Amino acid sequence: MKLSIYRFNPETGEPPRMQDYDVAPAAGDKKLLDLLMRLRTADDSLSFRRSCREGICGSDAMNINGRNGLACLTALEGLKEPVVLRPLPGFPVIRDLIVDMTQFFAHYHSIKPWLIAEEPPPERERVQTPDERERLNGLYECILCACCSAFCPSYWWNPDKFIGPAGLLQAYRFIADSRDVATAERLDFLDDVYRLYRCRTIMNCTEVCPKGLSPSHAIERIRIALLKRSS
Amino acid sequence: MARPVRPLPVFLNLLRIRFPVGAIASIAHRVAGVLLFLALPPLALGLDASLRSEAGFEAMRDLLSSPWRALVGLILVWAAAHHLLAGIRHLLMDVGIGGGLAQARASARAVLVVAVLLALVFAAGWLT
């Protein structure tokens, strides 16, 4: 199978280049990550992140044939050759397919991704009705792989000011939580031309989410919550 | 923390990214908006000239009758149609209609196709 992979080594000072590889998948190689691991036994200078190899850790997000995705969830079968692999668009490249996610996680941190509840915790858990729990579905599953934010034109042009689809989906996860008491403060923070309103509903985020989530829908819910509050 | 002195490279070559139909409709929306904005002053001046006198009207008609300028007109008609349709699409999405991925893809495709069709219908009317 033919691959063309983005290579960058910060130590040489040379600009990034594309390197061609030809590697035969062994029996049992089902996903792109399997092939990358095989490739790395032949060329141990090739750098990429990976951990769980089953779409839970979100480490191996990359641009695969022009679309962001997880290597471990991308089937080899049906991939157009040469398979062109590049780092996540718009993120500073540390080495090969490894990007600097500092800013991405700073945005995540800014939305206070934890439950804010004033009263001391009860003896047992903070209970929710089945309906209240249902509202978290499609939100809590986010693995913060950054496929969405790195495919969002609004995030490309304003990575420092726009929170991006991943952070906004996480923000709505806590707004929607019946146990959280800080909804008003959370909405105050998001009510900003850059943080929330840079979203132009292009929906690239929802197109590429490897978990099948819809950040654009979460953003729509935040906007509606703000609208209802202002009227 | 040891960091390289050189700025790190960023991959953001838009020609190497495979855009979904919604992104294409969105960038076309922007391009159409810029074209309409730039075209507004000359069009307003032309309208003013055509309304001022019969000679002015004839002069403007002659100016617009060449095929080359008709092409410019055609592009502007496309721009107006696309901008209007894409804007209505966004208004509907803002009130919660058509926000699902399948519907959004279908409406983006519809906007792209219908805007071109409207421009062609207009061109057919223009030439006859």
Q: Are strands A83-86 and A2-7 parallel, antiparallel or unpaired?
A: parallel
Judge whether B87 lies within some domain.
Answer: yes
Domain final residue pick, A65, A99, A133:
A99
Q: Is B3 on the interface with A (CB under 8 A)?
A: no
Residue A167 shares a structural domain with residue A54: no
Q: Is A98 on the interface with B (CB under 8 A)?
A: no
Residue A21 shares a structural domain with residue A63: yes
Residue B3 clears pLDDT 60, i.e. is over it: no
- The pLDDT value recorded for residue B40 is 95
Residue A68 shares a structural domain with residue A108: no
- The pLDDT value recorded for residue B20 is 98
Token pair 């095929």 is at which residue?
B67
Query: Minimal Cα–Cα distance from B101 to chain A, Å?
Result: 7
Domain span at residue B113 reads 22-127
Confidence of residue B123 (pLDDT cuts 50, 70, 90): confident
Residue A117 shares a structural domain with residue A226: yes
Q: What are phi and psi of A194, to 5 degrees?
A: -95, -55
Q: Is A14 on the interface with B (CB under 8 A)?
A: no
Domain with residue A196: its CATH number is 1.10.1060.10
Residue A122 shares a structural domain with residue A85: no
- The pLDDT value recorded for residue B2 is 60
Q: What is the per-residue burial (b if ≥16 Cβ within 10 Å, else e) of A145-176?
A: bbbbbbbbbbbbeebeebbbbbbbbbbbbbbb
With beta carbons under 8 A apart, name residues in chain B contacting A204: 19-20, 22-23
- The pLDDT value recorded for residue A172 is 98
Judge whether B17 lies within some domain.
Answer: no
Q: Number of folded domains in chain A?
A: 2
Q: Which residues of chain A have pLDDT under 50?
A: none
- The pLDDT value recorded for residue A119 is 84
Instruction: Assign 3-class secondary structure to A124-193.
Output: CCCCCCHHHHHCCCCCCCCCCCCCCHHHCHHHHHCCCCCCHHHHHHHHHHHHCCCCCCCHHHHHHHHCCC
Chain segment A72-130, per-residue pLDDT in tens: 999 999 999 999 999 999 999 999 999 999 999 999 999 999 999 988 888 998 999 99
Chain segment B46-99, per-residue pLDDT in tens: 999 999 999 999 998 888 887 787 788 889 999 999 999 999 999 999 888 999
Residue A181 shares a structural domain with residue A108: yes
Best A8, A94, A201 member to test B by mutation, with max B CBs in 10 Å, is A201
Residue A81 shares a structural domain with residue A185: no
Domain with residue B116: its CATH number is 1.20.1300.10
Domain span at residue A69 reads 2-99
Which of B10, B18, B93 lies at the smallest CB-CB distance from A67? B18
Domain final residue pick, A99, A121, A137:
A99
- The pLDDT value recorded for residue B1 is 56
Residue A120 shares a structural domain with residue A91: no
Judge whether B38 lies within some domain.
Answer: yes
Residue A122 shares a structural domain with residue A68: no
Prediction ipTM score: 0.90
Q: Number of folded domains in chain B?
A: 1
Instruction: Assign 3-class secondary structure to A49-110.
Output: CCCCCCCCCCCCEEEECCEEEEHHHCECCCCCCCEEEECCCCCEEEECCEECCHHHHHHHHH
Q: Is A56 on the interface with B (CB under 8 A)?
A: no
